[in-house]
Chain A
Amino acid sequence: MRCFDVTRRSVPASLMKLYKSVILNKQIHQPPMLIEHKHTHAVNILQLFTISTAHIIRLHDRFKELDTERRGYLCPQDFGAIKGLAINPIGDRIIGAFFSPGRETVDFYTFVKILAHFRPADNIRPKESSSPEPINSRTNKLKFVFQMYDLDKDGKISRIDLLKALRGMLEMQVTEEQLDSIVDRTIQEADLDGDDAISFEEFRKSLEKVNIDHKMSIRFLR
């Protein structure tokens, strides 16, 4: 149970502060809501990703939990310590998604940004064409996964990309021939313009019947 409305009606703020610091003997951690981001001045996470305050606090608790050495950022080993992730066939790739190329650390802002892709879609969205599509829209979710497949970042999933992805998932469990035939078939099915690679549009088309919002969303229970 979480309570964030700190202002109580009749109690002076100083008394409350005293209560919190002395009697509760804990520092109420404020998550970095307003963070100086490298490229923008002050970004309000709440506005950018439309995640509720309660969930931001949960994610921040989780971030602190993962950050075992209290450095304020996460490194690949911290992710590697998560048991469920360690047995996931694409575990390494998932971890890699959090680290931009060349970086070895993830701060809380980036952590939330990547996870924000997995928010369930909002039911009511303002139909303004000028506002950018939210990060958790169907298109953006698909783009996110597409970028994971498209390793060489040429905007297309080529045979090599798909081979690498599948090899990563299955390692020793399939032979080269089996892998080749799988890749051939998959590209055959999805490739509509005959360029032997899957573009984002073809990717989107082949998955148009899948309920992305259900299958690629994390819902908080509380």
Chain B
Amino acid sequence: MEAAWDIASVLFQVWLSIVVGLIMLPAMFGVSLGFTDLYIKVLVKTLEWATRRIQRGQNEQPTLPSQSANGIIEKDDGSMEEEIGELRRSHPKSLAGVDFTLCDVFYFWKKGIENIVEDQVTQRFTSEELVSWNLLTRTNNNFCYISVRVTIMWGLGVFIRYCILLPLRITLAAIGLSWLVIGTTLVGFLPNSNVKNSLSDLVHITCYRICARGLSATIRYHNKENRPQKGGICVANHTSPIDIVILANDGCYAMVGQVHGGLMGVIQRSMVRSCPHVWFERSEMKDRTTVANRLKDHIADKTKLPILIFPEGTCINNTSVMMFKKGSFEIGGTIYPVAIKYDPQFGDAFWNSAKYNMVSYILRMMTSWAIVCNVWYLPPMSQQNGEDAVQFANRVKSAIANQGGLVDLSWDGGLKRAKVKESYKEEQQKMYSSMIVGTDCHENSVGPT
């Protein structure tokens, strides 16, 4: 028995020293020893091999399919006017300006049936479907048994992910979070000064770097010259709580959010000791003016870190960007848009909060292959004259969608749980009726038919 304990403790010490020496310390200094890159390369080769084998098994062309466009059905992207115009092309143009044709209804039928088969909105709240299997059981939608070799590879994958990577990642995450709490509390004892600020930044960044290693995250930052500056607002598309770790690896931000209890609460309270974050009580969140004022005060102080906000308000599955809530865009101040795009091949980062709670989500993250993502910093934007908050928000949203290769939707992310407002239906009716009867002045100029 004694011998067993000795061996166990020796193993544990070896394990810890490996973790600290090879992973944590380089992470703290922002140095990469190249293990993760090597791992990703090997992984990519393996997945390509698996794809080819699967395709061969199905007697298909052995090509690597690129991540296809959104959706399983072909859709015409034209507007209502264009589509109905095309339908009416063969119909003689009516002279009296009253323009209804029986074929108009085909447009609405097609759109309706398209929505029944595949809904543009609901599909954004479930994980993206992969084009080829990535050897994770969770993405196996009706892929059935393919061949012995692929199964062996899958089994090996399960072993590596659950028995080797998972304990490693949990250790790192634990170290990272405890370091954050301890470090920020210690820094909090210092008097306010530049030293305090730089130490606080250091603590935050090293902790987030350790956490990122804890997820095997490979992040590529583009256009670093556009990085958010102090006194600005950083705005990004939201896919999961991990977005914060991703962004904070390359800069320090002031977080905005609701006060939680439990572990989150402990972390929040200690973070706010070392540098000012903006945490709201639940009751305060209802009052939009309070929220806006506090944010305004924060950005007015140029020594404070840029605020990080996710204007969608909810997690979307990283195939599209949904409506940005205008609240963050009414505060004034420069907006620094950031686009985040995850590579779904290595692990699905989307948090489906209806299906998984936070703990199961984190476990799923830690048992994926890796988190690989690209972050683009876009040039800063400000509200222009004559532009209202909603238009400004849409402009920023389009820029982010464009950069990240995401679909730009104007649907509200809140539709995850809510019904569509009647006003949207009326808008569609208005659009169609203007095609039929034209605008009011046009109608008046038409004589009796």
B429-A171 in contact (CB<8A): yes
Q: Select B108's contact among A6, A61, A169, A222, beta carbons within 8 Å.
A: A169
Count, chain B residues at interface, CB 8 A? 71
Measured in the bound complex, the distance between the Cα atoms of B144 and A85 in whole Å is: 34
Q: How far is the CB of B61 from chain A (nearest CB, A)?
A: 13
Q: Given contacts A79-B116, A94-B112, are A178 and B98 in contact (CB under 8 A)?
A: yes
B142 with A3: CB separation less than 8 A: yes
Residues from chain B with a CB closer than 8 A to the CB of A212 are 106
Asked whether any CB of chain A lies closer than 8 Å to the CB of B5, the reply is no
Interface secondary structure of A, over-half rule: helix
Q: What is the CB-to-nearest-CB distance from B146 to chain A, in angstroms, rounded to a whole number?
A: 7
B69: chain A residues at CB < 8 Å are 221
- B187 to chain A minimum Cβ distance, whole angstroms, is 46
Whether the pair B449, A181 counts as a contact (CB closer than 8 A) is yes
The smallest C-beta distance from B291 to any residue of chain A, in angstroms, reads 28
Given A83-B411, A86-B425, A206-B102: A3 and B115 interface contact (C-beta under 8 Å): no
| Beta-carbon contact of A83 and B121 below 8 Å | yes
Hey, which chain B residues are within 8 Å of A90, CB to CB?
Answer: 105, 108-109, 112
> Is A58 in contact with chain B by the CB < 8 A criterion?
yes
Residue ID in chain B nearest A118 by CB atoms: B113
When distances are taken between beta carbons in the complex, the residues of chain A under 8 Å from B429 are: 89, 169-173
User: B79: shortest Cβ distance to chain A, in Å?
Assistant: 14
B256 within 8 A of A: no
Contact A24 B420, beta carbon cutoff 8 Å: no
B149 beta carbon closer than 8 Å to chain A:
no
Residue on B with the closest CB to A98? B116
A2 in contact with B122 (CB, 8 Å): no
Q: Mark A138-168, 1 if CB is under 8 A from B, else 0.
A: 0000000100110000000000000001100
Does A34 touch B at the CB level, under 8 Å? no
Asked if B120 and A8 make an inter-chain contact with CB atoms under 8 angstroms apart, the answer reads no
A219 within 8 A of B: yes
Q: How far is the CB of B302 from chain A (nearest CB, A)?
A: 42
Q: Which of A61, A65, A84 contacts B120 (CB 8 A)?
A: A84
CB distance from A5 to the nearest CB of B (A): 7
What distance in Å separates the Cβ of A19 from its nearest Cβ neighbour in chain B? 6
What separation, in Å, do the CA atoms of A8 and B429 have in the docked complex?
Answer: 54
Residue numbers in A under 8 Å from B148 (CB-CB): 11
Please report which residues of chain B, range 94-126, place their CB below 8 angstroms from some CB of chain A when the two chains form the complex.
Answer: 94, 96, 98, 100-103, 105-122
Q: Do B106 and A145 have beta carbons less than 8 Å apart?
A: yes
Cβ distance A159 to chain B, nearest Cβ, rounded Å: 14
* Contact status of A207 and B102, CB under 8 A, knowing A16-B145, A215-B107: yes
A216 touches B119 (CB 8 A): no
Contacts of A198 in B (CB 8 A): 102
B443 and chain A: residue at smallest CB distance: A178
Q: Which residues of A contact B111 (CB under 8 A)?
A: 84, 88
- Report if B194 contacts A (CB, 8 A): no
Q: Cβ of A219: which chain B residues have Cβ within 8 Å of it?
A: 73-74
Determine if A62 is an interface residue (Cβ-Cβ < 8 Å): yes
Which of B176-184, B235-243, B325-333, B431-439 contacts the other chain? B431-439
Which A residues touch B147, using CB under 8 A?
Answer: 8
In the complex, the answer to whether A209 meets B73 with C-beta atoms within 8 Å is no
B133 within 8 A of A: yes
Complex: chain B residue closest to A94, CB-CB: B112
Please judge, given known A-B contacts A24-B140, A28-B144, A94-B113, whether A88 and B72 are in contact too, CB under 8 Å.
Answer: no
Q: A93: shortest Cβ distance to chain B, in Å?
A: 9
Q: Give CA–CA (A142, B443) in the complex, Å.
A: 32
Name the distance in Å between B124's Cβ and chain A's nearest Cβ.
Answer: 10
User: A25 to chain B: which residues have CB within 8 Å?
Assistant: 137
Q: Is A57 engaged at the interface, CB distance under 8 Å to the other chain? A: yes
Beyond A184-B449, A221-B74, list 17 extra A-B contacts (CB 8 Å): A3-B144, A28-B142, A57-B142, A84-B120, A87-B424, A89-B428, A90-B108, A145-B109, A173-B429, A174-B433, A174-B436, A190-B102, A203-B102, A210-B106, A215-B110, A220-B73, A220-B74
- Can you list 17 A-B pairs with a CB-CB distance of less than 8 A? A2-B142, A25-B137, A57-B142, A59-B117, A61-B141, A62-B116, A84-B111, A88-B428, A169-B108, A170-B432, A170-B433, A171-B429, A181-B98, A210-B106, A216-B109, A221-B71, A221-B74
